[in-house]
Amino acid sequence: MLSSLRLIPSLAFARLGPHCYVYDARAQERCVLVVPTQRISSPLFETLEQLAASASAKGTLTPDEIAALFADEPERQAHVERLWAAGYLEQAPPGTSSADADANADPDPDTRLRAQVDDFADAGLGYSLPPRSLFHVPTDLDDSDAHVVVVGVPVASRPVSSGTVLGPGYLRQLTMRMGTWFDAHRRGFYSEIACNGSLPEPLARGVVLEDGGDVGADARTVRALFEELRTVVDRTVIEAERPTVFIGGDHAITFPIVHALLHHHPDLCLIHFDAHHDALYDDRIAFDHALPIRGLLAHSNLQSVYSFGLRAGLDPNARGYDDLAGSGLAPRLHPYSLAETKRLIATPERLQALLRSIPAERPVYLSIDLDVLSTEAMRGRVSTPAGTGLEWHELYDAVRIIMEERRVIAADIVELCPSNGTTREEPLELPALLVLMIDRLARASAPR
């Protein structure tokens, strides 16, 4: 006879946007899940809430207590039976409640070992392997539910940047160590990025995030990649009106994304953080991580590019300079050195004034090549490290000001190369940058 029952300890449940989910409460602590993330009905979610609230004092309920709780609700009784059959409701082990605490004697080692073998055979072999998604966000969300969408583009254009194809998966893995988006949606992330003498508002509270998966990995031609990315831009950024962050891949992916946006927003402005200008290294148009700005200026009607963080001290490779300087493309470029970029960030009113020279109604695309950061800040995990650069706090401040001052409709983070690295330490600041961008995009685009 069952003495007491409990919801299994690894079971958590939460609302995310218009839907309800069960998921693993210990998701960030393990690489396999006892409870797979899955959508459930609102009535079943309410039953779980009632069970959890009623069991909160002692952690368990007797069958009689459960029967009394739902005596007049046959639907709820059916839910309890489903939870029991699915293994989410279980018989509480000895010592779980105060009534049998005295019986919880520590077993001998052989008994513990046999119990572990039995537990693994019964449950461990049935663990659900979770899909890799940003902050364990459910993979069945769609554009209509989400405030912000993140899409991976694991594509590289050169051997030197081939390791960037691992970037989207690596970033997902980093975020999965930071907690679940269910918690972020409910409480937000505490962050001191914007502390100015008072407690900051949590980041991303109430935001519904969609991990849009990867696109372009199987494209066999550059034309096919352009078409795949244009489809994503058309459906997500334009039709669904969901601001989107694209995760590279190398910087070549900015060319097709911005090119697709220009079909809908011919007045689009590109703000570009990079150690390299990506416009003057050659006099040709190419799908190349060294030439996305050149390609966009020459192959499209992109009218203005603001490039920050540039730091070539002496570069003999200037094939494209004379060609660009003597053409009508040069006035579209607004380059700022690393030193000037740091001065602008250090005096926010100057950066704000510069941004306000861009008409407020003009949409903006923000592109962040992570080599704009110092090699130490990124622990060398970029395809072309460039030594001294911005530090994380400077990039955070710049991104925050840009996204508060201008209408950013989409962005990218590129050149993350997990296979490179100067230390075993990982750039755990990167998820904070992503969450900051998600938070500001959501604030600007839709009421919560």
* Full residue range of the structural domain in which residue 46 is found: 5-126
When pLDDT is cut at 50, 70 and 90, the band that residue 119 belongs to is confident
Highest mean pLDDT among 61-70, 330-339, 340-349: 340-349
**Contact between residue 63 and residue 5 where contact means Cβ atoms under 8 Å apart:** yes
**CATH code: domain of residue 182:** 3.40.800.10
Residues constituting the chain: 448
276 in the same domain as 155? yes
Q: Quick one: which of 94, 91, 5, 15 has its CA closest to 52?
A: 5
Q: pTM for the whole thing?
A: 0.92
Domain count, the chain: 2
pLDDT at 26 over 50: yes
161 in the same domain as 117? no
191 in the same domain as 51? no
Each residue of 136-184: pLDDT tens digit? 999 888 778 899 999 999 999 999 999 999 999 999 999 999 999 999 9
The whole-angstrom separation of Cα 382 and Cα 420 is 7
117 in the same domain as 161? no
The whole-angstrom separation of Cα 146 and Cα 405 is 23
How high is the pLDDT of residue 143? 75
pLDDT at 370 over 70: yes
The whole-angstrom separation of Cα 24 and Cα 2 is 25
275 in the same domain as 206? yes
pLDDT at 188 over 90: yes
151 in the same domain as 191? yes
pLDDT at 384 over 90: yes
148 in the same domain as 77? no
> Counting beta carbons within 10 angstroms of the beta carbon of residue 136, is it exposed (0 to 12), middle (13 to 18) or buried (19 or more)?
buried
369 in the same domain as 340? yes
Helix axes 167-176, 429-445, angle to 10 degrees: 90
How high is the pLDDT of residue 180? 93
Name the one residue in this structure whose structure tokens are 């998604």. 133
